[in-house]
Every structure is written in structure tokens, then in C-alpha cells.
Amino acid sequence: MVAATHGPLSGVRIVEFDSPGTILFAGMLLADLGCDVVRILRPGQEGSGVAASLYRGRSQLALDLTQAAGREQALSLIAEADGVIEGYRPGVAEQVGLDPARCLALNPRLVYARTSGWGREGPLAGAPGNDINHLALSGALHAIGPGPGPVPPLNLIGEYAGGALYLALGLVSAILAAQATGKGQVIEAAQIDGAASMMTLYYALHGAGRWADARAANMIDGGAPYYRCYACADGRHVAVGALEPAAFRALCAGLGIAADAFDPYDRACWPALGEVLAAGFASRGRDDWAKLFESGEACVTPVLSLTEAPLHPHNRARGSFSAQAGVMQPVPAPRFSATPAEAIPAMDETIADVLARWA
């Protein structure tokens, strides 16, 4: 595999110690943006045939890190790398001799980026936990869902946004600093920290008395009847985001409701308004409403399935999805005018191949 020549991060060398979840997604993001990412696998391990899209863009090689020879080969790559991404349980990298202290002693300009759920300090450091648990302690999970109970938002907020995106941002930021100073550093991206960081606005609103500490009780958490999803006659749903006065008027006009019959910003009106909107949307099928509101003025859109979304005219016009090896997948984001990102297949390599390229 030749070095990546696409994307704004072309030429940046990253060693990825294979790990599911956060590291896997971060490695994909970095490779999409042009990093030359080498993913180190255990001998006999293969990428997922189900989620092959997440393995794209990297070269991969098998090293037995439990053996001295495998560790020395990994260190030979680290000596030439700009960054390392690692998601082992706290203490594992230290046990096998691939900890930040040893790696930075070998390569002082290295950025060693590591992630975990709970972080490496505090009573829960090293404890088991999954995305839903990290969200629970950040305050984010409590705020998501209908009134009766929280709803886990897939693994998007904790593992991917709170972990992988913060890890990638921290890594790139520290590499820029290392290029200026010649000094690397250790980055820790804990999912609980990233999830809490993304809740900054809501903690601020709550502290100012402008956010009720309850689910479905606020303007954009499903509490306001003009910012939620509604079931249609065919059992499918529309998403309504008519926050602005003009959008609310367009929503009422489309449903045949007198806009001045309700004050949308008076919370006392919300229950009755919600009932009227629910009854209105239940009278027709989802696609009928999508066509009626297709101008977008009312901020009403169909809730599309995974099968439907790639076929929507807007997504097709933007090329937001692409089929690779018969599997539909989102294309890399964000978009760059001069150095576009690119999704390319993964490829097996040997340690000699990588070292020859990185020498």
C-alpha cells in the first residue's frame, strides 16, 4: 500500500493498536482524512466482515505483542510515527511495554493518544462499562428520551462523538504543537469527559434556570410539541422542527390549524397543541406529509430508515453515500475544497513494507 496522497492530513503517520469501538472509528476518521494509518492486529485476527466500512483506509499487519519480537517491531514503527492511538484497558499498555513513557522516550515528538470509557483516574478507572454507562454518569442520558425513561442514542454520543471525535481532534492538535515545538505528549480522551463536554450548553441553561432537569420538558428535547416526531397514518414518522415563528406558521398552515389559536411559547399550551398536531399527522401517510411540506419552510421532514436515507434526492445529489464492495456506507466528512477526503479499502502489509515507506 502506498502512502495516502488524499486529504488534508496526507503524510501524517499513525500507529493504531486495534481495539473495537472508539479506536476503530477514530482510525477510520483519520484514514479518511489522509493519515497513513497502520493498524496492528493480533496474529490470526481479521477485520469484521459485517462492519468492513469501519476498517477502511488503513494498512494492517499482525504482530504478537505478548512476545518481545512483536513489541520491538511495534516500537520500530512508533519510532517513525507522528502519533499512536490506543484503547486498551488502563494498565495493559504498560504491562506489555508499549506505554507512553517508553514510546515518548524512543520518539520525543510522538503524540500518544489513548481512550477509555471512564478515564485513567477516579474510582471507576479500569472498571467495566459501555457507552450507555458513560452517558449515564455524564448527565447526557438522563436528558434524552420521552418522559417515562431515558433512551440510549445508539453509541453515537459516548463512543463515537465523546470518544473518537475528541480523540482525533486532540491528536491532530497535539501533532500541530509537536511540529512547532518538537515535543510530543499524551492525550487522554475519556468517553465520560467528551459526553459531558457536549452537554456544556445544557448545563449552562440549567444553571441559569432555563432548562428543566427532566426529559421531554424543554424546547429541543421533545417537550415542545413543534420539536418532536409524530406518527403518521401508515405507522411511519415525520420529524418536526418548527422552532422559529415563521416555521410554526407554515406548520399550522400545512395542517390546516389556525396559527393564532395557540401561543407556541406558552408551555401551558403545549399539551393541547401536541394533541392537535398528533391528530393532524395521524390523518395521512408519511410520504404525503413529506410532499406537502417539501418546501422546507415548516421544517418537517420524513424520518427515513437506513434503507431509505441513501436514496433520498438530497443525499443522492450530495453523494452522501457510496456503495463499496456491495455495502452502502456514508462518505467521509467533512468536505474539503482543495484536499478532499477519500474512503479506500484496507490492505494487509508486512512490517518491512511499512518501514520501507516510512524510512
Tens-digit pLDDT profile for residues 195-226: 999 999 999 999 999 999 999 999 999 999 99
Which run of H or of E encompasses 332?
Answer: none
What distance lies between CA 281 and its chain's CA centroid?
A: 32
What distance lies between CA 304 and its chain's CA centroid?
A: 19
Nearest-CA neighbor of 342 among 53, 24, 6?
6
User: Residue 126 in 3-state DSSP?
Assistant: coil
DSSP secondary structure letter of residue 16? E
Reading the block at residue 103, the C-alpha cell is 514510546
Confidence at residue 48, expressed as pLDDT on a 0 to 100 scale: 58
- Give the C-alpha separation, 289 to 242, whole Å: 15
**Over residues 229-251, mean pLDDT:** 97
Share of the chain above pLDDT 90, in %: 89
pLDDT band at 155 (very low <50, low <70, confident <90, very high): very high
Tens-digit pLDDT profile for residues 313-356: 999 999 999 998 788 999 999 999 999 999 988 888 999 999 99
pLDDT surpasses 80 at 4: no
Tens-digit pLDDT profile for residues 107-128: 999 999 999 999 999 999 989 9
DSSP assignment string, 169-220: HHHHHHHHHHHHHS--EEEEEEHHHHHHHHTHHHHHHHHTT-S-SSTT-STT
Confidence at residue 213, expressed as pLDDT on a 0 to 100 scale: 97
Residue 146 in contact with residue 215, Cβ under 8 Å? yes
- Give the C-alpha separation, 49 to 182, whole Å: 40
pLDDT band at 160 (very low <50, low <70, confident <90, very high): very high
pLDDT surpasses 70 at 97: yes
pLDDT surpasses 80 at 237: yes
